[in-house]
Amino acid sequence: PNGAFPIAWSIIYICMGLSLGRLIERGADKTLSVLWGIQLVVNFLWSLLFFAFRNPFLGLIDILLLDILVWIYISRAYRKEKAAALLFVPYFLWLLLATYLNGYVYLYN
């Protein structure tokens, strides 16, 4: 339902912010902060590609890259600060659902 999106994204963005905050607080490698920023930009680009440009193919390429970036972030953050990595798991699960839906739209629309 449409009402689920603002609730889900609010929770996801709070978790993302807490994840970055924990890494900064612990003085983790700057590479993780850069990776966090890159995935956020790629996330934003997906909305433009899929919704504004109405291009499910480019959206699918973008979201697959986003899946990979988020997985890399989770794996690297887990070595430094487990809680920071775990805070990204809901986001990753949501992305997998969005990737499936994007792929479905591309294949069958």
Q: What is the pLDDT of residues 82-108, one digit of tens each?
A: 999 999 999 999 999 999 999 999 999
Q: Whole-angstrom Cα distance, residue 15 to residue 85?
A: 10
Q: What is the pLDDT of residues 26-81, one digit of tens each?
A: 998 899 999 999 999 999 999 999 999 999 999 999 999 999 999 999 999 999 99
Prediction pTM value:
0.95
Half-sphere exposure of 22 (CA within 13 A, CB side): 17
Q: How far apart are the first and last CA of the chain?
A: 20
For the chain, the domains span 4-108
DSSP letter at 78 equals H
Give the residue carrying structure tokens 């978790």: 15
Residue 1's pLDDT band, with cuts at 50, 70 and 90, is: confident
